[in-house]
Amino acid sequence: MFLLRIALPDRPGSLGAVATAMGTVGADIQAVEIVEKYEGFAVDDFMVEVPMGTLPDALITTCTSIPGVTVLWFSHYPEGWGLQSDVAVLDKMTERPDEAEAILTQASPAVFRVNWAAQIARSDGRVIARTSNAPEVERLPIDWLGRLDTPHCTELAAGWLPGWPELLIAAAPFRGESALVLARNGGPEFIKSELARLRHLTALSL
Residues 16 and 55 in one domain: yes
pLDDT tens profile 48-90: 888 887 777 888 999 999 999 999 888 776 655 555 567 788 8
CB neighbours of residue 46 within 10 Å = 25
- Read off the pTM: 0.73
Residues 114 and 62 in one domain: no
- Contact of 85 with 31, CB cutoff 8 Å: no
Find the CATH number of the domain harbouring 23: 3.30.70.260
- Contact of 81 with 2, CB cutoff 8 Å: no
Q: Which residues contact 171 (CB under 8 A, 6 or more apart)?
A: 145, 146, 148, 151, 152, 153, 154, 179, 180, 181, 182
Find the CATH number of the domain harbouring 141: 3.30.450.40
